[in-house]
Homo-oligomer: A and B are copies of this chain.
Amino acid sequence: MAVTRAEQRAATRRALLAEGRRRFAADGYHGVVLAEVARAAGVTKGAAYHHFQSKAGLFRTVVAEVQRELGERVAAAADRHDDPWEQLRAGCRAFLAAGSDPAVRRILLVDAPTVLGWDEWRAMDEESSARHLAEALEDLVAAGIIADQPVEPLTRLLSGAMNEAALWLARSASTQALAQTEQALDLMLNGLRAPAR
């Protein structure tokens, strides 16, 4: 049966990405050897360098993939609400819950900033989850629900808070930790509410 080149290409690319994602999540970027990823994907190093230009290139693509999925999950959770305030809360909670995914933890939160460099990581983050957060905050400012202020510092503060909290929750044995964190986050968010007029 004739396998077209395009099909073959897509197949190996998918296999490399899937295997890379698994290993990056499990062993961390520097714990992964590229040749083994290729071998597990049924090809050799040459194929990996043909599709992605370097080990970091493969990692970058995996990061983009995971980030896109995370952004969609967060957006979907927010969209289940109509009230903009509840949208913000739902998005934040979805992000915290996403921390239970090892791929998100290890790849996005731990390795990505140092492997890709903080600047590139931030630029990519901006296009997915952080953008949703910034938009939600701007909606709330426009609606007069939170005080008029630049949203960028707020975005960074909240983004960092949730990144760290997600990592912590992943290690926490306590069953109440998630609920407690959500409560604490609610308190902090409430501080942003504009004083009643």
Give A residues with C-beta under 8 Å from B: 28-30, 110-111, 113-115, 118-119, 122, 147, 149-150, 152-154, 156-165, 167-168, 171, 177, 180-181, 183-185, 187-192
Task: Please give, as numbers and ranges, the residues of chain B lying within 8 Å of A162 by CB-CB distance.
Answer: 157, 160
Contact present for A187 and B181 (CB under 8 Å):
no
Q: List 13 interface pairs A-B (beta carbons < 8 Å), by A numbering.
A: A28-B114, A110-B118, A147-B187, A153-B180, A157-B181, A160-B160, A160-B161, A160-B162, A160-B164, A161-B164, A184-B192, A189-B191, A191-B191
A116-B101 Cα distance, complex, nearest whole Å: 21
Nearest Cβ distance between residue A193 and chain B, in whole angstroms? Answer: 8
Q: Which residue of B lies closest to A153 (CB)?
A: B181
A73-B175 Cα distance, complex, nearest whole Å: 35
